[in-house]
Structure 1
Amino acid sequence: MSTTPATVSGPVETSPDLLYTEEEEALRSAVRDLLTDHCDAASVLARTESDTPHDPDLWKALTEGMGLAGLLVPEPFGGQGATHREVAVVLEELGRAVAPVPYLTSAVIATEALLSCGGDTAGELLGALASGRTVAALAVPLSTAPGPVTATVRYEGGALHGRVTGVADAGAADLLLVPAADGGLYAVDTSHAEGVTVTPRTSLDRTRPLADVGFDAVPARLLTDAADRAVRRALSSGAGLLASEQLGVAEWCLTETVQHTRERHQFNRPVGSFQALKHRMAQVWLDTVGTRAAARAAADALATDRADAPLAVAVAQAYASPVAVHAAEEALQLHGGIGMTWEHPVHLYLKRAKADSIALGTAGRHREAVGDLVDLGTP
């Protein structure tokens, strides 16, 4: 009796490989070595107490030295032509070091907005961002979730007028990308344009400072008349890759807490041998492993431009935000009295985790997005 082999019609979907490649591990090693040499906890703490929270020398080493600002920029524009997977690895390491550099805002969010614009002006600006000599920020509040954005700036008489609150890293930006009420996205060179005021705000996370930006008859260049599309792409990529930064925060907190509880003794025993503490750290480990899977899935979906990328981004943010906060809270508590001191860096990680939890949409907002995307109503 003969049988005819079954045939499969249509494309066969394969599961993405979320494991790190050799190239990605090599990139991680290089970035971690650089951060070990240039971004120790004491220097980050000192900067949070100064008027210059960003570290220009570290930024120069990351960008001009390693070319990391141009990972998402195509080679014809002077970038590396890499993918979101490589950027995710960099953000994991920057999260582990709470590095005070505008990488997420400039090399990811602003870069993605420009990539959506097209045209000679956007291409020229992409080259400047890829070199690292120009820092850009998208002029929307850091709390803005992916989706439609209500512009608070208007373009009238050939100039911008209005105010945007809570813009991340605006104080370090040479270039502002401004969505306007007419539907356009405009470029403002802050080093030459008059009428731009940047007013720092008190930020929980001093390593990623916020500012209010005012525009009083500021001349600007039109990049695209489809600002909504550009901003949506920028915020979606930013939210998806923010999960990798949150993963780095959680991993540092877990590693340092395990190490501390091995070294700290009570009743002639390491405190880490107490069953109650073992259970707490084991839960953080499980949550962190889940975060890694979600963050890698989001980065891969963005890198391959899959149709389910919005869902992967929403799942990653819904999961990663509370995990990073919980890991930092456990780290502070399990470090005991030293964890409550300003000199110990654990408070930097708690502040970064708490600030990230409301950046680019809260976990609740992303859970709602998951429900909408899978056609499952949320309460």
Structure 2
Amino acid sequence: MSTQPDLLHSEEEEALRAAVRDLLTDHCDAAGVIARTESDAPHDLALWKLLADGMGLAGLLVPEAQGGQGATHREAAVVLEELGRAVAPVPYLTSAVVATEALLASGDEELLGRLASGRTIGALAVGLHTAPGAPLRTVRAADGTLHGELTGIADAAAADVLLVPADDGGLYAVAADAVTVTPQTSLDLTRPLATVTLDGAPGRRVGDAEQAVRRALRAAAGLLAAEQLGVAEKSLTDTVRYLKERKQFNRPVGGFQALKHRLAQLWLEVVNLRAAARAAADALATGEDTDVLVAVAQAYAAPVAVHAAEEALQLHAGIGMTWEHPVHLYLKRAKADSIAYGTAGAHRTTLAGLVDLQAP
């Protein structure tokens, strides 16, 4: 008989949250993130080193015996929530969650240990838009070499190793310097996409692609909700703060009843998202009702994060429309996340099948 999960953070999880937030406050200010989006190096690898090497966060999901921290998806969700609040341009979701989960399913301990240390960055060469269980786009495998092109690969530019699904059913580890990575124009400049071209790239088979990718994308979808929660919470918090300070007719704008109603509605949506995101993380950690709770979280998360960021942009008025103000970073991340690892509609369809509640 299953017990009711505790969705409140434990003392250890709160301590982790505080430590990550302090680090991001010191090393990931909005002006710096905006400056990076204007450069040819959008990833903050110095921040990644502090998170991965300094705090050991890259190996949270990896058992201690394999060089990791032996934590659970609950702790990873805490980290992603804070990274979402800062729109941090680091490959945490793609390497420490997605690529790591694929390797946990494959059992390649040597490469898993390298990813857990943070000194090697991994990326699963599956389009960011791909939902768990969706058909996979593969490359051709021939005599230990791989041939083909894959598009929409998140954080490929920062990766040292790519995990590539092939037409023979295998998942192959390929060194990043053996492929051509071509940047794609992406809405979210803090999580750049790229096309990966393999022209006879040597690959080492690490496991079964279908099983590994399904596990990786399920964890990605579930924990993405934590990042979306961070985006939504920060958007709401900053908007409330601004409306308390901004004055019209010699009174704070936040005192106008119409705006208070909008903020109250948004607060309720964010509270519900918090419950859904934490339930998904707990389900991934315990293995209970995982598919259902991940689908619920993703069906709900995208609309709330986008709504929160849109309200932040509108209620910051003129200043919210400027490039210098960071609100556009949150709107772009929310919009990009809304199609990452499956749209809300795709997850609702999945959920309907899981609970046998089909449309009339």
Q: TM-score, normalised by structure 1?
A: 0.94
- The separation in 2 between residues aligned to 1:114 and 1:13, in whole angstroms, is 29
Aligned-pair identity in percent equals 74
Matched, 1:48 2:37: yes
Q: Does the Cα contact within 8 Å between 2:228 and 2:337 map onto a contact in 1?
A: yes
Q: 1:285-300 residue pairs with structure 2 within 5 A?
A: 285-300=267-282
Q: Does the Cα contact within 8 Å between 1:148 and 1:228 map onto a contact in 2?
A: no
Q: Does the Cα contact within 8 Å between 2:182 and 2:196 map onto a contact in 1?
A: yes
Letter of the aligned partner of 1:186 in structure 2? Y
- The separation in 1 between residues aligned to 2:266 and 2:59, in whole angstroms, is 34
Quote the offset at 1:227 in angstroms.
1.1
Quote the offset at 1:43 in angstroms.
0.2
Matched, 1:367 2:348: yes
Matched, 1:218 2:201: yes
Quote the offset at 1:152 in angstroms.
2.8
- The separation in 1 between residues aligned to 2:29 and 2:119, in whole angstroms, is 24
Q: Partner residue of 1:74?
A: 63
Q: Partner residue of 1:207?
A: 190
**Aligned mate of 1:316, from 297, 310, 314:** 297
In structure 1, stretches of 5+ residues that fail to align are 1-11
Matched, 1:150 2:131: no
Structure having the higher Rg: 1
- The separation in 2 between residues aligned to 1:35 and 1:13, in whole angstroms, is 37
Q: Secondary structure at the match of 2:106?
A: coil
Q: Secondary structure at the match of 1:116?
A: helix
Matched, 1:168 2:154: yes
Quote the offset at 1:148 in angstroms.
4.0
Instruction: Output one character per residue of 1:217-257: Cα deviation in whole Å (capped at 9) or x when no partner.
Output: 11110111x21011000000000000000000000000000
Letter of the aligned partner of 2:273 in structure 1? T
Instruction: Output one character per residue of 1:157-212: Cα deviation in whole Å (capped at 9) or x when no partner.
Output: 22101110000000100010001111100000123x3xx11000011001000000
Q: Partner residue of 1:227?
A: 209
Matched, 1:198 2:181: yes
Moved over 6 A (4+): none
Q: TM-score, normalised by structure 2?
A: 0.99
Letter of the aligned partner of 1:71 in structure 2? L
**Aligned mate of 2:314, from 327, 333, 341:** 333
Q: Does the Cα contact within 8 Å between 1:88 and 1:244 map onto a contact in 2?
A: yes
RMSD over aligned Cα, in angstroms? 0.8
Q: Does the Cα contact within 8 Å between 2:128 and 2:154 map onto a contact in 1?
A: yes
Quote the offset at 1:109 in angstroms.
0.3
Q: Partner residue of 1:134?
A: 120
In structure 2, stretches of 5+ residues that fail to align are none
Instruction: Output one character per residue of 1:294-325: Cα deviation in whole Å (capped at 9) or x when no partner.
Output: 0000000000112x101100000000000000
Quote the offset at 1:345 in angstroms.
0.2
Q: Does the Cα contact within 8 Å between 1:250 and 1:288 map onto a contact in 2?
A: yes
Q: How many residues align?
A: 360
Residues 336, 148 of structure 1: CA spacing in aligned structure 2 closer, same or farther, 3 A cutoff? closer
- The separation in 1 between residues aligned to 2:26 and 2:233, in whole angstroms, is 19
- The separation in 2 between residues aligned to 1:372 and 1:340, in whole angstroms, is 41
Quote the offset at 1:150 in angstroms.
2.5
**Aligned mate of 2:100, from 111, 129, 153:** 111
Q: Partner residue of 2:163?
A: 177
- The separation in 1 between residues aligned to 2:230 and 2:176, in whole angstroms, is 32
Letter of the aligned partner of 1:203 in structure 2? S
Q: Does the Cα contact within 8 Å between 1:44 and 1:99 map onto a contact in 2?
A: yes
Q: Does the Cα contact within 8 Å between 2:296 and 2:347 map onto a contact in 1?
A: yes
Q: Secondary structure at the match of 2:5?
A: coil
Instruction: Output one character per residue of 1:26-74: Cα deviation in whole Å (capped at 9) or x when no partner.
Output: 0000000000000000000000000000001100100110000000011
